[in-house]
Amino acid sequence: MSKQYPRVSAFKAFLILPALAATAAHAGTVDVTVRASNGRPLANAVVMIDSPGRRDAASRFAGPHVMAQQNIAFRPEILIVPVGANVSFPNRDRVRHHVYSFSTPKKFELKLYGREETRSVTFDKPGVAALGCNIHDAMSGFIIVVDTPFAARTDAAGRVSLTGVPAGRATLRVWHATLRAPGGQIAQPLVVTTAPIAKTVTVSAR
């Protein structure tokens, strides 16, 4: 199948420009380190900063968005997509998979399909969609649908760096698969300055 590239409407491009201009003028960098309650760095956590007025996630996260099934696992485990993104679910295994999600942002199921690359799903609500395979209980993946362009996954050291965050009030959100909190994420207010900010967030994880 040929890739379908997401179209960026001209209107949306216009919207971005002033934002970009504004960004360039009063923006800072936020370094966030996520730790578990026992002090260990938490990898594969998603750090998001909601800045008012900034909903141009699509600009930051260009496609294509692919959640493949390979070696009886979702690849990547965590996929950050903007709202409205169309994510394809190629099955690169020899066995069939029955992908499903009962998460609030998107309830769907891709009933038992084999090696093909034709299935895809569009995620038009922000949130976290937990993916599972009906056949393979061990398969677990997450699609983080964000509307803020400031979202990234922590590395092995639990660190992530978000640049160009407009100064001023914002909301820092952290999500992790094991986080003990409703929805698996916590949120806290954040004041962004032009100077770089380093923040450590400790979360209670299972």
Partner 1 sequence: MTLLALRAAVARRVTFGHLRTRLSVLYATLFAVALLIVAAVAQIMIVSHARSSVRAELTSSGTVFDRIWSLRSQSLIASTDVLARDFGFRAAVASGDRATIESALLNLKERVGMGSPFIVTLDGTVVGDGTNTIRSTVGKLPFRLAVGRRDAVVASGTGLYRMVASPIMAPTEIGWIIFAVRLDGAEMRALEQLSAIPLTATILGRDMRGRWTPATESSVAVSEALDELVEQAQTRKGRAPETIDLQSGQAFVLAKPLAAADGEPEAVLLFSYPVANALAPYRALQLGILLTGLIGLILVIWGSRRLATGISRPIIALDKAARSLEQGERTEVPVEGADELGRLAESFNKMSAGIVEREHRIAHLAFHDALTGLPNRVFFREQLDGALGRAVKRQGAVAVLCLDLDGFKGVNDTLGHPVGDALLNIIGAQLGELAIDGMVSRLGGDEFAIILADDAVPGRPRLLAQEIIDRMRQPMQAAGHQIATGVSIGIAIGPDDGADVDTLLKNADLALYRAKQDGRGVYRYFEPALDAAARKRRQMELDLRDALRFGQLRLEYQPIVYVQGDRVGCFEALLRWEHPERGAISPLDFIPVAEETGLIVSIGEWVLNEATRQAKQWPDHVRVAVNVSPLQFRNTGFLSLVFRALAQSGLAPDRLEIEITESVFLDSTEPTVALLHRIRELGVRIALDDFGTGYSSLSYLRSFPFDKIKIDRSFITNFAENDSAIAIVRAIIDLANALNMETTAEGVEDEEQLEQLKLQGCTSVQGFLFSRSIPSSEVLAMTDIEHLRAAA
- The residue among 107 and 169 lying less far from partner 1, judged by its C-beta, is 107
Tokens of 63: 């496609």
- The residue among 121 and 177 lying less far from partner 1, judged by its C-beta, is 177
CB of 29 to partner 1, least distance (A): 32
- The residue among 23 and 44 lying less far from partner 1, judged by its C-beta, is 44
Instruction: Give every CB contact of residue 169 below 8 A, 6+ residues apart in sequence.
Output: 52, 189, 190, 191, 192
- The residue among 1 and 95 lying less far from partner 1, judged by its C-beta, is 95
Residue linked to tokens 């590395």: 155
CB of 130 to partner 1, least distance (A): 5
Task: Give the 3-state secondary structure of residue 15.
Answer: helix
Where do the DSSP E strands lie in the chain?
27-36, 46-50, 65-66, 68-69, 74-75, 78-82, 85-88, 97-102, 107-113, 120-123, 127-133, 140-146, 151-153, 159-166, 168-175, 185-192, 197-203
- The residue among 31 and 93 lying less far from partner 1, judged by its C-beta, is 93
CB of 142 to partner 1, least distance (A): 9
CB of 191 to partner 1, least distance (A): 32
Footprint on this chain of partner 1 (rule: CB under 8 A): 98, 100-102, 107, 130-134, 137, 139-140, 177, 182
CB of 52 to partner 1, least distance (A): 30
CB of 140 to partner 1, least distance (A): 5
Alpha helices in 5-123 (DSSP H): 10-25, 57-60
Tokens of 197: 């900010």
CB-count exposure of residue 99 (10 Å: 0-12, 13-18, 19+): buried
- The residue among 29 and 134 lying less far from partner 1, judged by its C-beta, is 134
